[in-house]
Chains A and B, each alone.
Chain A
Amino acid sequence: KQEVTQIPAALSVPEGENLVLNCSFTDSAIYNLQWFRQDPGKGLTSLLLIQSSQREQTSGRLNASLDKSSGRSTLYIAASQPGDSATYLCATPSTQKLVFGQGTRLTINP
């Protein structure tokens, strides 16, 4: 059974810093991994989807990496801004459903 873990549950950093969010999964035989952002009271916004054959995927200041052998994905955010404050979730498909991590709540302090 696939399990997805995100540590830490919360992270607070000053504006301008580069930061890394972590996502771990127990079954390395994944098809893809998706990163989402959720703002308070809002739905999930898809940020990046990285296929199992890829090692990296980039969108603007965001870069997602995937290391299946170690069961890890990271989301790198460059030059963080207060507008990046949100909860970030990772998810991977397994047995007819997306398995989500519990998320990391990110706060960027001006």
Chain B
Amino acid sequence: DAGVIQSPRHEVTEMGQEVTLRCKPISGHNSLFWYRQTMMRGLELLIYFNNNVPIDDSGMPEDRFSAKMPNASFSTLKIQPSEPRDSAVYFCASSLTGILYEQYFGPGTRLTVT
């Protein structure tokens, strides 16, 4: 398997623009996680899907953030409008089922908002 695939790998955008990050989980994995990593706050879970249904979105910082999982092989994280403080590395991870199983991370998307 190719592992978790994320695109784009790097994104530079201006404040106020819409940003869409994409993730393809490992085939056969039923759970998908979006994380954000910054030097100040470390790794934070933003949202977690199980069988395409959001289970916990308590980590989504504001209404500007939204995530969807229209099918088992694709998820998006959207920021609209983006702000400089959103600059971070965003990771997608997947597991067989839920948080109790081993999580496999994608390479991340480095987002810079100017």
| A→B interface (CB under 8 Å) | 31-32, 34, 36, 41-46, 49, 89, 93, 96-98, 100, 102-103
Contact = CB atoms under 8 A, between A and B. Distances in A.
Contacts of A96: 48, 55-56, 99
B102 A98 contact: no
Contact of A97 (B42, B45, B105): B45
Given A97-B59, A102-B42, A44 B91 contact: yes
Interface string B97-114: 001101111111010000
Most buried by B among A49, A96, A103: A96
Contacts, number: 43
Given A44-B91, A100-B42, A102-B42, A93 B107 contact: no
Contacts of A100: 42-43
A97 B104 CA distance: 14
**Chain A binding surface, main DSSP class:** strand
Given A43-B91, A44-B91, A98 B103 contact: yes
Contacts of B93: 44
Nearest to A103: B42
Contact of A49 (B55, B59, B102, B108): B102
Contact of B103 (A41, A42, A46, A103): A46
B18 to A, nearest CB: 24
Interface of B: 4, 33, 42-43, 45, 48, 55-56, 59, 91, 93, 99-100, 102-108, 110
B60 to A, nearest CB: 12
A44 B105 contact: yes
A31 B35 CA distance: 21
B70 to A, nearest CB: 22
A30 B28 CA distance: 26
17 contacts: A32-B100, A36-B105, A42-B107, A42-B108, A43-B105, A43-B107, A46-B102, A46-B105, A89-B43, A96-B55, A96-B56, A96-B99, A97-B56, A98-B33, A98-B45, A98-B103, A102-B42
